[in-house]
Structure 1
Amino acid sequence: MTFLTVAAIIAGVMFGIGALCAVYRIIRGPSILDRALAADVLLAIAICALGAEMAINKHTDTLVVLLVLAMFAVVGSISIARFMAKQDAA
């Protein structure tokens, strides 16, 4: 096995563990903010995993998917923050 293969396997395992922890927090989160933060973390993990896959395989085929995921993460975070701000003001 080459170093690149071992690094890809280790990165995949770490991304998988992080994703499982985020899904667990989405399911068990006691508040809506915990669930929202876990969803943001899950999106960040997906973005990082796609970026790592693109770097390992030396291509940019999934760059559009990466950008759309980043857009969803930003829009989701802003909308939840606005929702919580309106809820706190009431």
Structure 2
Amino acid sequence: MDVLELAGWISLVLLAIGALGALYRIVFGPALLDRAIAVDVLLIALSSGLTVWMALHESLHFIMLVVVASLIGFISSTTLARFTVEGAQANQTEPEPKQRPMGDGGR
């Protein structure tokens, strides 16, 4: 086992730990936004793990799956960011216009 193969297996283990952390956040996340971000992290861990696996085995069998997972992650992240910003702007209350005092003579 050479150094590159050892580094590949270590990175696969660390990516699996990250994926387990994302799964925990998906199940027990306190908010919907936390769960959505965890799904994105899980997709990143999946595509990175498949890329390392392909490098270790010197094959390109899963390249389309990596591309599709990356596209789904990108599109879902940008859509989530757009709706989060629009929702935050819609939930902001506009300040009420200040009323003039009653005794100012109507000026």
Shared fold per TM-score greater than 0.5: yes
Q: Which amino acid aligns with 1:68?
A: V
Deviation at 1:53, TM superposition (A): 0.7
Deviates most, 4-13 or 23-32: 4-13
Note the C-alpha offset of 1:70: 0.4
Report the Cα distance in structure 1 between the residues aligned to 2:78 and 2:8, rounded to whole angstroms.
33
Please state whether the residue corresponding to 2:88 is helix, strand or coil: helix
Sequence identity of aligned pairs in percent?
Answer: 36
Partner of 1:15 in structure 2? 15
> Which residue identity lines up with residue 63 of structure 2 in the other structure?
L
Partner of 1:59: 59
Indicate the RMSD between aligned Cα atoms, in angstroms. Answer: 1.5
- Partner in structure 1 of residue 31 of structure 2: 31
Q: Is the 8 A contact 2:12 2:52 kept in 1?
A: no
Give a deviation string over 1:41-80, Cα, whole Å, max 9, x none: 1111001101101111111121111100000000110111
Structure 2 CA distance, aligned partners of 1:5 and 1:60?
17
Unaligned runs of at least 5 residues, structure 2: 91-107
2:80 is the counterpart of 1:80: yes
User: Structure 1: which 5+ runs fail to align?
Assistant: none
SS of corresponding position for 1:50: helix
Letter of the structure 2 residue corresponding to residue 89 of structure 1 = Q
- Which structure: larger Rg? 2
SS at match of 1:56: helix
Aligned length: 89
